[in-house]
């Protein structure tokens, strides 16, 4: 594991994003046969690009803005995912046709999106572990005993 102590904010993001990524990755693999239908339904209405893109972009910018840490594996995963989510939201809003072309091509390659989903789930499980594991107790500083007040001689 990492020897770099976790920033409290990294731990907070790991607690939220870890289970989310794990659930999304596992669910995507387990419902793989429905992915093409979900994508087709998404593509059927242009409003989905705006609504989803705006929300995804907001989440990505919140992660990027509130998590400027890059030390340690957990911090790197949170920051990289924040930037990836920001890019995804931007693509949905600004370039929906290019986004859909890439999504359709990816769904067509079963091995690629299944591998990506498994990697997302593994990253999510790691973040969940890092975010929710008990923190080791900080060692108590040694304090020297205060000198006793001795009565003065004469």
**Average pLDDT, 10 consecutive residues per value, the chain (154 residues):** 73 97 95 85 88 97 96 96 98 94 85 92 97 81 66 68
- Kindly write down the DSSP assignment for every residue of 47-116, as one continuous string: HHHHHHHHHHHHHHHHHHHH----SSHHHHHHHHHHHHHHHHHHHHHH-HHHHHHHHHHHHH-HHHHHHH
Q: What is the pLDDT of residue 150?
A: 66
Nearest CA-CA partner of 92 in 32, 49, 63: 49
Percent of residues in the chain assigned helix, strand, coil, to nearest 5: 75, 0, 25
110-131 pLDDT, tens digit each: 888 899 999 999 999 999 999 9
List the chain domain ranges: 8-131
Q: What is the pLDDT of residue 147?
A: 62
Alpha carbon distance 42, 94 (integer Å): 16
Q: What is the pLDDT of residue 42?
A: 85
pTM for the whole structure: 0.81
Host H or E run for residue 11: helix 8-30
Q: Which residues are CB-contacts of 2 (< 8 A; sequence separation ≥ 6)?
A: 72, 73, 74
């Amino acid at each position: 594991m990492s020897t770099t102590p976790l920033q409290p904010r990294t731990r907070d993001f790991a607690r939220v994003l870890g289970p989310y990524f794990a659930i999304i990755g596992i669910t995507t693999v387990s419902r793989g046969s429905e992915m093409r239908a979900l994508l087709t339904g998404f593509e059927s209405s242009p409003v989905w690009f705006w609504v989803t893109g705006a929300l995804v972009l907001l989440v990505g910018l919140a992660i990027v803005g509130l998590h400027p840490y890059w030390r340690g594996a957990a911090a790197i995963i949170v920051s990289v995912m924040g930037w990836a989510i920001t890019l995804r939201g931007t693509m949905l809003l600004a370039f929906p046709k290019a986004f859909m072309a890439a999504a359709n091509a990816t769904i067509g390659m079963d091995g690629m999106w299944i591998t990506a989903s498994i990697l997302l789930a593994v990253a999510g499980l790691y973040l969940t572990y890092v975010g929710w594991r008990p923190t080791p107790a900080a060692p108590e500083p040694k304090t020297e005993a205060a000198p006793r007040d001795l009565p003065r001689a004469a």
